[in-house]
Each structure stands twice: as C-alpha cells, then as structure tokens.
C-alpha cells in the first residue's frame, strides 16, 4: 500500500513539473512590440510614419512610443479613412496635425495637396516606418498605399522599415488573380482577392517580382512577428476601419465586398456592415434593415430606405472561414432581385478583378462552378509567393 502511495506521489509530482515546464500557447507578438530590434535603426534619423488608429503597441500607439523615446517623427502618412480611422471609404481627407504630439499628418487621400509625395518625403524623411493593420484582401487599400510609398522611397533611396503584423485572413488563398486591365484604386497588383500574406511578405514580393516602377528595388527591412504561422487565426483587438467592426465582418469581407459593385446594400450605415445584404425590392425575405448616416458611413447606399434581405450575423466564424470566398450571397441577391444586368455596376469588375464572373452569374452558374475557374490561379500564385513567405505555411 505504501509503495502504491509513493508511486502516486511521484506521478503527481512528474505531471506537475511537466505542466510547469510546458508553456501556455504563445500569443502573437507583432513587429512593433519588438522595440529592441528596431530602435537602433531609428536613432538620429527623421522618421516618416505610415500608420493609423490600428498602430497600437499593447495599449499605446506607435507614434507615442516613438516620441516618448525621443525619436524624431517628422510626419505621419495616413491612408484611407484617415489617421484616426473615422472617414468614409474613399473619402478625401485633408492634411492636419496630430493634437497630442504636434506631428504634421499628410493624408494620402488629399486631392487638394499640390506637393508631390516624393517632394514631401525628401524634405521630411530619412526612413519610412510602416505599422498598420491590414486584412489581407486585394481591394483593401492599405497595401496599395504601402506600394505607392515603396515606389516613392525606391526612387529616393529612402529605406522602408515594416513592423509586420499578423494577417487575420492569412490562413488561406482564394479568388481570381487580378486581370491588370481592371487595375484601379481597389486593386493594383496581379494577386488573388485573398492573397494570404502579411504586409512584410507582400512588400518582399513587390520587390522580388519587379512590381515597382521601372522594376526598381525599395530598400526594405521587415521586423517579423513572433509565434505566428499562416494557420494562426489571429483576432484583431482594434477595428481596422469603420465598417469592419469585428471579426465576423473581417471574415465575411472577402465574400461580401462585391455588393459595392451592385445596387444592393451590404449594411453600411447599420450595426452589421458586411454581415447583411438587402434592397427595398428584394423578394422572399422577412429580415429587414434601414441604412442610416453614421460615422464612417455618412451617405451609405440606399440611405433611409427599408431594405429586405438576409442576415448573416448568426453564422459561426468557423463556418464562414471554412467556405472562404463565397459568391453564393451575391448570386442569391441577383436572383431575388430579378433585374438582370442592372444588378451590377462597372465597379463590380474592379472588385472581383476579372470579367468572367459577372457573365457566369448571369448565365446561372453556381458559386462552386465559378470558384473552379480560379483554382489554377490560386495554385500558381501559391508557388509564386512561396519564396517570399516569412512564416510557416503548414
């Protein structure tokens, strides 16, 4: 009996020791948290900072971290939605000054500024720091602003330092590769809709594939994330833009954004943007919503009109993620409205990036049949991007 008791004691102690030594699941540490890795690169340099409200280092903004440590931040470059992140999609945002620090803000969406971006950077920066939360989709414009800045910095030989962030949609690749005849402000690179890369990885690919003007190379350094792989389901702590308020919107975004290229509302001006869709004339629906003017959606489509449609907010995140880019919602709305080609606007092709999807929907093809048409695009792109990946893809 005594021996059995001793065996149990030793077993208990061994298990306890094992539990103590086995670390809990490590959280993702984004590049901006690793100050010891990049602070030495910033000493005695004029810093241009490309960021917005998502540039948080735990509970502090990257701008405050830099200024508190006596770095010389000479300007902030703000993307779509502005530095504080409350402007509408595509809205022109004027230049301003950050009230807390006095650092001037140059808006990349200010059509009234006659000073070229190159002239501005040449007078303000020895290095460009990028700290912004992307969501990994071709029509989400933060990477487009980064690409524009890389192009300018390549010409001026200004180094770019990317404080990399995990991609919440980085666990898969889906959608057609952009046909460059549809190149626009919502798509500038020959990549799939869901490209499965962080901004740091994409920046390396931009350099490596010669996608900058005249195939020039931007001086580039990436501070990589820790404890992140392409199978990590990374959940955002800060909404990346006004109409992506939570993870359900982020996960549905690859499937819902095409409604921007139709006459149907996708919920801008409601509490469920990118989680509902509808139209005043939609048939066979009991669910309804009414878009209202609000911050980030001052004049949403179908403003103040009661829309009948479908609510997707009850779907589980796992169900949404499993389906990936799902055109069944657009196809459903197309058939419910029954107005033929008037359902679409020219913006639809810019979002989906190819000309065949609209034609296939109109001819009655299913979401699965359409998806099969871009399968080879996805496989080819995966091979093309492989050498630029900084994180395990398995």
Other Cβ atoms closer than 10 A to 302:
18
Residue positions counted in the chain: 394
53: Cα separation from own chain's centroid:
14
Q: In angstroms, rounded to a whole number, what is the distance separating the alpha carbons of residues 64 and 148?
A: 25
The contacts of residue 212 (CB under 8 Å, 6+ apart) are 147, 150, 151, 154, 206, 218
Q: In angstroms, rounded to a whole number, what is the distance separating the alpha carbons of residues 93 and 112?
A: 9
| Longest Cα–Cα distance in the chain | 89
Note whether 132 and 52 are within 8 A (CB).
yes
User: What is the predicted pLDDT for the residue at 394?
Assistant: 80
CA angle 176, 323, 351 (to 5 degrees): 35
User: What is the predicted pLDDT for the residue at 112?
Assistant: 52
Average pLDDT in the 369-376 region?
98
Average pLDDT in the 306-318 region?
98
Of the pLDDT bands very low, low, confident and very high (cuts 50, 70, 90), residue 296 is confident
pLDDT digits (tens, 9 = 90+) for 170-218: 999 999 999 999 999 999 999 999 999 999 999 999 999 999 999 999 9
User: What is the predicted pLDDT for the residue at 36?
Assistant: 98
Token pair listed for 113 = 């500024």
User: What is the predicted pLDDT for the residue at 5?
Assistant: 42
Of the pLDDT bands very low, low, confident and very high (cuts 50, 70, 90), residue 98 is confident
Note whether 165 and 224 are within 8 A (CB).
no
- In the chain, what percentage of residues exceed pLDDT 90? 83
Other Cβ atoms closer than 10 A to 240:
24
Determine which helix (DSSP H) or strand (DSSP E) holds 278, and give its type and residue range: strand 276-279
82 pLDDT more than 80: no
CATH classification number, 247-378, choose in 3.30.70, 3.90.1150, 1.10.3470, 3.40.50: 3.90.1150
Cα dihedral sign, 169-173-175-181:
positive
DSSP state, 88?
P
CATH classification number, 31-223, choose in 3.30.2320.50, 3.30.230.10, 1.20.990.10, 3.40.50.12170: 3.40.50.12170
Shortest CA distance to 331 belongs to which of 272, 288, 375, 371?
A: 371
Note whether 74 and 48 are within 8 A (CB).
yes
Q: What is the dihedral of CA 111, 115, 118, 119, to 10 degrees?
A: -170
Q: In angstroms, rounded to a whole number, what is the distance separating the alpha carbons of residues 90 and 243?
A: 13
Average pLDDT in the 288-309 region?
96
Alpha helices in the chain (DSSP H): 2-21, 35-42, 62-68, 117-124, 142-156, 199-208, 247-256, 317-323, 328-337, 347-352, 356-362, 367-373, 375-385
Strand pairing class (160-163; 127-131): parallel
Name the one residue in this structure whose structure tokens are 């917005």. 52
Name the one residue in this structure whose structure tokens are 């800045």. 149
Same fold, 31-223 and 247-378: no
* Pick from 87-101, 330-344, 369-383: least confident: 87-101
The contacts of residue 297 (CB under 8 Å, 6+ apart) are 88, 242, 243, 268, 269, 273, 291
User: What is the predicted pLDDT for the residue at 352?
Assistant: 98
User: What is the predicted pLDDT for the residue at 50?
Assistant: 97
Q: In angstroms, rounded to a whole number, what is the distance separating the alpha carbons of residues 176 and 259?
A: 17
Q: What does pLDDT average to over the chain?
A: 91
**Domain coordinates of the chain in residue numbers?**
31-223, 247-378
Token pair listed for 199 = 């901004």
Token pair listed for 364 = 């009655």
20 pLDDT more than 50: no
User: What is the predicted pLDDT for the residue at 226?
Assistant: 98
Radius of gyration of the chain (CA): 23
147 pLDDT more than 70: yes
pLDDT digits (tens, 9 = 90+) for 223-273: 999 999 999 999 999 999 989 999 999 999 999 999 999 999 999 999 999
16 pLDDT more than 90: no
CA angle 265, 270, 271 (to 5 degrees): 135
């Amino acid at each position: 009996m005594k021996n059995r008791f001793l065996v149990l004691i030793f077993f208990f102690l061994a298990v306890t020791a094992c539990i103590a030594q086995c670390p809990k699941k490590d959280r993702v540490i984004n590049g901006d948290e690793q100050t010891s890795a990049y602070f030495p690169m910033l000493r005695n340099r004029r810093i241009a900072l490309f960021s917005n409200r998502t540039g948080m280092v735990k509970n502090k903004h990257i701008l405050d971290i830099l200024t508190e440590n006596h770095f010389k931040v000479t300007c902030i470059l703000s993307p779509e939605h502005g530095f504080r992140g409350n402007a509408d999609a595509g809205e022109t945002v004027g230049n301003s000054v950050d009230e807390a620090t006095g650092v001037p803000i140059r808006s990349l969406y200010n059509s009234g500024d006659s000073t070229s971006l190159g002239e501005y950077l040449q007078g303000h920066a020895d290095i460009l720091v990028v700290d912004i939360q992307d969501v990994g989709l071709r029509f989400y414009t933060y990477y487009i602003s980064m690409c524009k800045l890389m192009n300018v910095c390549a010409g001026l030989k200004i180094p770019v330092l990317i404080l990399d962030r995990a991609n919440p949609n980085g666990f898969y690749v889906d959608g057609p590769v952009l046909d460059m005849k549809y190149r626009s402000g919502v798509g500038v690179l020959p990549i799939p809709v869901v490209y499965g890369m962080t901004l740091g990885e994409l920046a390396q690919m931009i350099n490596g594939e010669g996608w900058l003007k005249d195939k020039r190379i931007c001086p580039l350094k990436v501070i990589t994330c820790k404890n992140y792989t392409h199978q990590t389901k990374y959940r955002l702590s800060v909404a990346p833009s006004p109409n992506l308020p939570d993870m359900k919107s982020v996960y549905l975004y690859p499937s819902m954004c095409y409604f921007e290229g139709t006459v149907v509302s996708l919920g801008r001006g409601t509490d469920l943007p990118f989680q509902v869709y509808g139209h005043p004339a939609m048939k066979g629906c009991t669910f309804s919503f009414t878009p209202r003017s609000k911050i980030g959606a001052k004049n949403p489509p179908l403003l103040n009109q009661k829309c009948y449609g479908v609510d997707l907010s009850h779907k589980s995140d796992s169900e949404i993620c499993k389906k990936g880019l799902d055109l069944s919602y657009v196809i459903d709305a197309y058939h419910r409205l029954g107005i033929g080609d008037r359902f679409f606007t020219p913006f639809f092709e810019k979002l989906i990036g190819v000309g065949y999807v609209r034609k296939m929907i109109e001819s009655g093809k299913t979401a699965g049949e359409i998806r099969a048409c871009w399968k080879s695009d996805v496989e080819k792109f995966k091979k093309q991007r492989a050498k630029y990946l900084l994180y395990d893809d398995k």
